[in-house]
Amino acid sequence: SGQADANGKWEITTSALADGLHNVTATATNTVGQVSEPTGVWSFSVDTSKPANVTDLLVLDDVGNQTGPLHNGDTTDDDRPTFSGGAEAGGKVII
């Protein structure tokens, strides 16, 4: 719970939440103890676990006379090779 300020603004910081789905509602109580109807359910998920490693990394040269997958230590004339592989669904991969 938290207290609204003179402008009606409030903020609540929770203790650490467990990973998984959380459903919250909110009510307001005035100074004489009358309680509002609850808000609709607001759902969110907490995911604090790091993703698995990127898998099946492939660097593909698709420019010039020699094209195809590059191997560790190769030289390429493609200044924009294509990188691909597998990662957690919805995750962001940074090269």
Residue 63 falls within a domain, yes or no? yes
For residues 55 and 33, the answer to whether their CB atoms sit within 8 Å is no
Cα separation of 81 and 58, whole Å?
10
The whole-model pTM stands at 0.59
Residue 77 falls within a domain, yes or no? yes
Residue 3 falls within a domain, yes or no? no
Residue 64 falls within a domain, yes or no? yes
65 falls in which pLDDT band (50, 70, 90)? confident
Domain ranges, residue 72: 55-86
Residue 23 falls within a domain, yes or no? no
Which pLDDT tens digit goes with each residue over 2-57? 999 999 999 999 999 999 999 999 999 999 999 999 999 999 999 999 999 999 99
Q: For residue 57, what is the enclosing H or E element?
A: strand 55-61
- Domains: count for the chain: 1
Eight-state DSSP code of residue 20? E
Residue 69 falls within a domain, yes or no? yes
Residue 75 falls within a domain, yes or no? yes
Residue 94 falls within a domain, yes or no? no
